[in-house]
Amino acid sequence: MEVLFLGVGEACDSHHGNTSALITTRNCKILLDCGFSVPHRFFARCEDPDCLEYVWISHFHGDHFFGLPLLLLRFWEMGRNRPLQFVGRQELREKTMSALELAYPGFAEKLSFPLLFHTIQAQDSLQLEHLKFQGIRTDHSQPNSGLLLDDGNHRLYYSGDGRPTPGVIELAHGCDLALHEAFTWEDSIPNHGSVTGCLQLMEKAEIKQLALVHIERKTRKNRQQDFEKLLKQHPDVLLPTEGETVCLE
């Protein structure tokens, strides 16, 4: 399994892009969230119109969702024919089609490829080919589903946004890599994860590697020395940058 970080920042971070990752496993590609800045980052690295198979959407805040109309437009321009499959919450079809209509009225009728929607709610699981998608509720201001992605060889947890719930500890236990929102250094903002909270999750869930993402831009800047110290003390904690790749062997 290969993880390419397309962005690691929060909604307003102009330097690090909206948090998103492109997962490659057995020649299958899965996009985790698609915020404002994600399509440009994605297409800078993928010129094949049929390269992407699945899109996971954790929740419907703009920095995780509003890039979908541009993603679909560009695939259409490139001549995509292969169905594009979406996985996420029950409202996913309605939200996607509403966003597409708002961005490009009438464009949905022109699409040259089918859109397929698979919905899972908290604590549900879904098997699609060799991939198992399992959702879990997190503590966020809007309903958000964390995701455990299992390809049969590796298990990856992606938080979307929000603090981990007890269910997250159970679901992510022993996973090979967790990509988790760490908005602030400590739990100072309700419904958002933190660096200290992520470290506690890593310990309780015995997570092998932890990537801190979606860091509030002022926290990233003002706590730079603290981050450097943290990475030295915890070699299994990552502070990825846009374009960085992690391979799970």
The angle subtended at Cα 134 by Cα 148 and Cα 163, nearest 5°, is 60
pLDDT tens, N- to C-terminus, the chain (249 residues): 999 999 999 999 999 999 999 999 998 999 999 999 999 999 999 999 999 999 999 999 999 999 999 999 999 999 999 999 999 999 999 999 999 999 999 999 999 999 999 999 877 899 999 999 999 999 999 999 999 999 999 999 999 999 999 999 999 999 999 999 999 999 999 999 999 999 999 999 999 999 999 999 999 999 999 999 999 999 999 999 999 999 998
Q: What CATH number does the domain located at 2-247 have? A: 3.60.15.10
How many angstroms separate the CA atoms of 145 and 162, rounded? 9
Residue 12: HSE in the Cβ half-sphere, 13 Å Cα cutoff: 6
Domain range annotation of the chain: 2-247
Helix axis angle, 68-77 to 92-103, nearest 10°: 70
